[in-house]
């Protein structure tokens, strides 16, 4: 048990046996013995291990009460096996803290994800996906406006979202897994907000459209259509752009991106999907975007203007403070759950200026 936790912590930190051994002044053999439960580290060694792995010592004794299964990296992922291990270990660690919080504050995982009851049994055209997206918005009571905090909204609907910094130098393209019965979607914590949101909405598309798409349609394309329709509903998109256009100004696309959290490129696709611009007009936009940019980076690779802000989930932290307020947990458990030092927790509780906003 302790050994497995040390191994998991080492994988999460992306360290080899030798790296870890070196950083705490022991032999690789000694660490290997700890990991196989053939030797027990002293409490002082455990403290050094915790420091080297950037975890609190409680981490080594936490019971993991869930099974992570059906792990699926998205198709474009080019992660090395080592980076995959790192990402998965981090996902496990974050989920463990969620599961633990769930046992303390029952409201933390409010329900299992369910599909709206009135979805069509089969989708035979891409255009029908507009209605599917509207149905999900209605079921979630989102109205027609921009979705401000997609991560928190998905979690309220019973989908667990994990943001991980381990994306193997941006090679990672999101992943979906099951933790017990819960669906887990993982995206990069350092990605721009519009990429995080599109990936989340795309994965939601897979959940919603699963086994409903007729064989003539391409599932990935269908999920992309779902994602853009979910983020920027048809009626609002047409209201913003008009019914028929031949050219969309970059500044116009940028302002729409700021408002809806859908990329500028995503808006060009959206306009084409909705028949606002035709195919050749869309091509003119791609060509223009491929010519603009700084140095060798074009607008297609990196859009101009400020990036859309990253998703900043608040639910987990809020629930920890709620548990603290209701005296369900003490300060040291709260610090452990938030994965911060006790001194930092106390500073946040006092609302010290630098910490008032919380993490991320």
CB 244 within 8 A of CB 271: no
Contacts for 301 with CB less than 8 Å, ≥ 6 apart: 293
Q: Of 157 and 220, which has the nearer Cβ to Zn ion?
A: 220
What is the smallest separation between the CB atom of 220 and Zn ion, expressed in angstroms? 5
What's the min distance (Å) between Cβ of 186 and Zn ion?
13
Count interface residues toward Zn ion (CB under 5 A).
2
Question: Using CB under 5 A, which of the segments 8-16, 141-149, 213-221, 324-332 binds Zn ion?
Answer: 213-221
Residue 163 or 223 having the CB closest to Zn ion: 223
Q: Which residue lies nearer to Zn ion by CB, 73 or 316?
A: 73
User: What distances in angstroms separate CA 328 from CA 8, 75, 322, 325, one per listed residue?
Assistant: 28, 42, 9, 8
CB nearer to Zn ion: give 204 or 277: 204
CB of 213: closest distance to Zn ion in angstroms?
Answer: 12
**Could you write out the DSSP letters of every residue in 52-64?**
HHTS-GGGGGPPP
Binding span for Zn ion by CB under 5 A among 86-94, 109-117, 181-189, 214-222:
214-222
Smallest CA-to-CA distance from 248 within 197, 284, 300, 214 is with 284
The per-residue b/e assignment along 266-303, b for 16 or more CB within 10 angstroms, e otherwise, is bbbbbbbbbebbeeebbebbeebbeeeeeeeeebbeeb
What is the per-residue binding string for Zn ion in 219-248, x denoting contact by CB under 5 A? -x--x-------------------------
For the beta sheet containing 68-73, the strands, ordered from the edge strand earlier in sequence to the opposite edge, are 68-73, 175-179, 182-188, 159-164
The CB-of-287 to Zn ion minimum distance in angstroms stands at 27
List 188's β-bridge partners, or say none.
Answer: 164
CB 290, min distance to Zn ion, A: 24
Stretch that binds Zn ion, among 114-122, 216-224, 272-280, 291-299 (CB under 5 A): 216-224
Nearer to Zn ion, 108 or 183 (CB): 183
Rounded to the nearest whole angstrom, what is the least distance from the CB of residue 229 to Zn ion in the complex?
15
Comparison of 35 and 273: residue with beta carbon closer to Zn ion: 273
Least CB distance to Zn ion at residue 203 (A): 7
Where does this chain touch Zn ion (CB under 5 A) — which range of 83-91, 145-153, 215-223, 351-359?
215-223
Name residues whose C-beta falls within 8 Å of residue 59's C-beta, 6 or more positions apart in sequence. 5, 9, 50, 53, 93, 336
Q: Which residues of this protein are in contact with Zn ion, per CB under 5 A?
A: 220, 223
């Amino acid at each position: 048990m302790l050994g497995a936790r040390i191994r998991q912590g080492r994988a999460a930190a992306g360290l080899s046996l030798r790296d870890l051994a070196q950083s705490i002044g022991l032999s690789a053999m000694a660490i290997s013995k700890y990991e196989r439960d053939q030797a027990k580290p002293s409490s002082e060694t455990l403290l050094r291990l915790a420091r080297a792995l950037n975890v609190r010592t409680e981490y080594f004794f936490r019971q993991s009460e869930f099974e992570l299964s059906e792990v699926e990296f998205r198709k474009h992922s080019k992660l090395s096996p080592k980076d995959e291990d790192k990402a998965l270990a981090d996902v496990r660690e974050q989920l463990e803290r969620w599961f633990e919080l769930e046992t303390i504050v029952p409201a933390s995982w409010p329900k299992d994800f369910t599909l709206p009851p009135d979805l069509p049994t089969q989708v035979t055209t891409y255009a029908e996906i507009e209605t599917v997206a509207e149905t999900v918005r209605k079921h979630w009571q989102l109205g027609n406006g921009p979705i401000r905090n997609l991560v928190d909204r998905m979690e309220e609907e019973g989908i667990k979202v994990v943001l991980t910094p381990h994306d193997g130098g941006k090679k990672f393209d999101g992943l979906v897994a099951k933790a017990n019965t819960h669906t887990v979607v993982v995206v990069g914590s350092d990605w721009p907000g519009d990429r995080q949101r599109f990936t989340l909405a795309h994965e939601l598309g897979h959940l919603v459209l699963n086994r409903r798409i007729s064989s003539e349609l391409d599932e990935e394309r269908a999920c992309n259509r779902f994602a853009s329709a979910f983020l920027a509903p048809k009626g609002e998109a047409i209201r913003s752009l008009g019914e028929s256009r031949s050219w969309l100004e970059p500044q116009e696309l940028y302002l729409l991106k700021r408002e809806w959290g859908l990329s500028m490129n995503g808006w060009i696709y959206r306009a084409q999907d909705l028949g606002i611009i035709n195919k050749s007009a869309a091509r003119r936009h791609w060509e223009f975007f491929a010519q603009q940019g700084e140095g060798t980076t074009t607008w297609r690779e990196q859009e101009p203007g400020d990036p859309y802000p990253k998703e900043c989930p608040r639910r987990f932290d809020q629930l920890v403070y709620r548990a603290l307020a209701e005296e369900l947990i003490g300060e040291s458990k709260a610090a452990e759950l938030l994965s911060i030092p006790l001194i930092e927790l106390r500073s946040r509780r006092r609302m010290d200026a630098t910490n008032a906003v919380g993490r991320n």
